[in-house]
């Protein structure tokens, strides 16, 4: 029973409108610099964000820990150092409403390889992988702004703002050392696709509608649902299917942002080779997503939260198709659920705001708590095994300390509370991160 459900690479800042990938409104439409004649407008913006973290997990990392939990109940655990994200933003205003942005992300330290001569192996040349990260182009678009920013047309590689974390994914926009676990498990995060976006903003509303390439059902799996299906493992993005997405935000109440977002698109046959078997001729693999989120900031409190629900049609046939694929394919060859869910809420209070001297110095110290429930196999089609360990509750408590506005030192204790029969997953994490502009 699923009753537990109760319970910048380049920040999108262009001179006339948005700031970073989150597209929060900029306090000033242009950057200025001092010159001999006074203040001079600058059309170039450079910024970024990054995280360096250390985690000690007090549970096993053995790949059999879910299939044989009793064998790993007393595991000593394991520790990890990581650089989850290092992002560089670059934006430029060409004038007449035309702007450009790109965002390059180095995940987990980037990648590294070197060619070496192996003296102990006959002097052979060998290429070795020295670092197992990724380098990702998350945004690359050109935009035309019209009607004082009330209507903007954006073409290129863009963020898909479905769910709270995709819209607000910089480290100063969530309390945890890592991005919220539920959002980051069942959806691509940060989700970016190639297409066209129409968006605009007024004093009380922000809207966005997107036409983008579809997902690839080959890469769906039980643990992460549709997470790994965005982007492309090839040198180009296959576009046999298309999708639409939207987001609407309201700011009518001071300090409160309410967001509603959604997505719809087919995912089957969005791959290089398609099985011609008649069994799959009517399979579409339509992905439907609905999300609601909120952010309240007032009286020294920040309270954030949201829910995401997703449905996949033809999940049984897609599971059968994926599990029949050859080992050399990009598929995980696993069953996938028909429905997935993520619910999360966090709240923090800035205790330094009680001290006038610290507040005047722009220092902040938040004590926070967070709760998540998520399940990548919330519902499954008849005949598809429901892996209970894919659903869990997670609680966390911790601190965020801002010595200056752009730097955050984070620490948290978290516990993944597993279903009966599985081992809980407690951990302690410490991190330092930044988010800001250099020029």
Model confidence pLDDT, tens digit, residues 187-196? 999 999 999 9
Q: Is 10 within the bounds of a domain?
A: yes
Q: Is 87 within the bounds of a domain?
A: yes
pLDDT at position 101 is 93
Return the top range by mean pLDDT from 17-31, 34-48, 367-381: 367-381
Looking at the 3D structure of the chain, how many domains does it have?
1
194-198, long-range: CB within 8 Å, 24+ apart, which pairs? 194/156, 194/157, 194/158, 194/237, 195/158, 196/153, 196/154, 196/155, 197/152, 197/153, 197/154, 197/155, 197/158, 198/151, 198/152, 198/153, 198/154
Per-residue pLDDT band for 114 (boundaries 50, 70, 90) equals low
Q: Which of 40, 33, 45, 99 is nearest to 437 (CA)?
A: 45
Average pLDDT score, the chain: 87
**Three-state SS for 220?**
coil
pLDDT at position 107 is 87
Model confidence pLDDT, tens digit, residues 231-245? 787 888 889 999 999
What integer is the mean pLDDT of 404-413? 97
Out of 15-24, 103-112, 223-232, 412-421, least confident range: 15-24
Q: Is 117 within the bounds of a domain?
A: no
What integer is the mean pLDDT of 330-359? 95
Per-residue pLDDT band for 327 (boundaries 50, 70, 90) equals confident
Per-residue pLDDT band for 308 (boundaries 50, 70, 90) equals very high
pLDDT at position 123 is 54
pLDDT at position 9 is 34
With the C-alpha atoms ordered 191, 196, 202, 205, is the resulting torsion angle positive or negative?
negative
For 332, other C-beta atoms within 10 Å of its C-beta total 18
pLDDT at position 2 is 43
pLDDT at position 127 is 61
pLDDT at position 131 is 63
* Type and span of the H or E element at 359: helix 356-360
Q: Which residue has the tokens 């004649």?
A: 37
pLDDT at position 30 is 31
Q: Is 83 within the bounds of a domain?
A: yes
**Whole-number Å distance between alpha carbons of 160 and 158:** 6
DSSP output for 110-174 = EEEEEEEEEGGGTTEEEEEEEEEEEEEEEEEEEEEEEGGGTEEEEEEEEE---SHHHHS-SGGGS
Residue 37 reports pLDDT greater than 60: no
What integer is the mean pLDDT of 29-35? 33
288-291, long-range: CB within 8 Å, 24+ apart, which pairs? 288/262, 288/263, 288/264, 288/312, 288/313, 289/162, 289/163, 289/187, 289/261, 289/262, 289/263, 289/264, 290/261, 290/262, 291/162, 291/163, 291/164, 291/259, 291/260, 291/261, 291/262
Q: 37 or 397, which is more confident?
A: 397
Q: Is 303 within the bounds of a domain?
A: yes
Out of 21-25, 152-156, 158-162, 393-397, least confident range: 21-25
Q: Is 116 within the bounds of a domain?
A: no
**Whole-number Å distance between alpha carbons of 53 and 85:** 10
Q: Is 267 within the bounds of a domain?
A: yes
Q: Which of 199, 107, 95 is nearest to 153 (CA)?
A: 199
Q: Is 68 within the bounds of a domain?
A: yes
Which range of residues forms the domain containing residue 79? 3-110+131-437
CATH of the domain at 94: 2.40.160.10
């Amino acid at each position: 029973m699923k009753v537990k459900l109760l319970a910048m690479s380049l920040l999108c800042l262009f001179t006339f409108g948005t700031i970073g990938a989150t597209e929060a409104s900029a306090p000033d439409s242009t950057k200025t610099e001092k010159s001999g004649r006074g203040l001079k407008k600058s059309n170039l913006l450079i910024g970024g964000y990054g995280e360096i973290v250390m985690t000690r997990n007090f549970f096993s990392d053995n790949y059999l820990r879910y299939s044989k939990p009793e064998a790993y109940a007393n595991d000593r655990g394991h520790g990890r150092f990581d650089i989850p994200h290092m992002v560089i933003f670059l934006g430029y205003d060409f004038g007449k409403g035309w702007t450009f942005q790109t965002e390059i992300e180095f995940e987990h330290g980037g990648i590294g390889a070197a060619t070496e001569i192996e003296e102990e192996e006959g002097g052979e040349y060998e290429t070795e992988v020295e670092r197992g990260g990724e380098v990702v182009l998350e945004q690359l678009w050109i935009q035309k702004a019209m009607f004082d920013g009330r209507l903007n047309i954006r073409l290129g590689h863009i963020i898909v703002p479905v769910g709270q974390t995709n819209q607000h994914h910089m480290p100063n926009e969530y309390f945890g050392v890592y991005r919220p676990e539920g959002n980051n498990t069942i959806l691509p995060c940060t989700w970016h696709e190639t297409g066209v976006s129409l968006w605009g903003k007024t004093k009380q509303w922000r809207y966005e509608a997107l036409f983008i390439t579809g997902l690839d059902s080959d890469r769906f799996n039980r643990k992460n649902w549709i997470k790994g299906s965005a982007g492309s493992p090839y040198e180009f993005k296959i576009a046999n299917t298309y999708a639409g997405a939207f987001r609407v935000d309201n700011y009518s109440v001071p300090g409160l942002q309410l967001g509603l977002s959604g997505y719809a698109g087919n995912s089957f046959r969005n791959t290089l080779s398609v099985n011609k078997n008649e069994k799959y001729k009517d399979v579409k693999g339509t992905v439907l997503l609905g999300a609601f989120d909120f952010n309240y900031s007032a009286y020294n409190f920040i309270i954030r939260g949201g829910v995401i629900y997703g449905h996949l049609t033809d999940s049984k046939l897609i599971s059968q198709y994926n599990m029949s694929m050859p080992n050399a394919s990009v598929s995980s060859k696993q069953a996938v659920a028909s429905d997935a869910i993520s619910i999360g809420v966090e709240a923090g209070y800035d205790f330094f705001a009680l001290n006038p001297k610290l507040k005047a110095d722009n220092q902040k110290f938040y004590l926070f708590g967070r709760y998540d429930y998520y399940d990548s196999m919330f519902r499954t089609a008849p005949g598809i095994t429901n892996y209970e360990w894919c659903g869990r509750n997670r609680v966390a408590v911790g601190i965020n300390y801002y010595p200056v506005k752009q730097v955050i030192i984070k620490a948290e204790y978290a516990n993944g509370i597993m279903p009966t029969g599985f081992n809980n997953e407690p951990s302690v994490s410490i991190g330092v991160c930044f988010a800001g502009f250099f020029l």
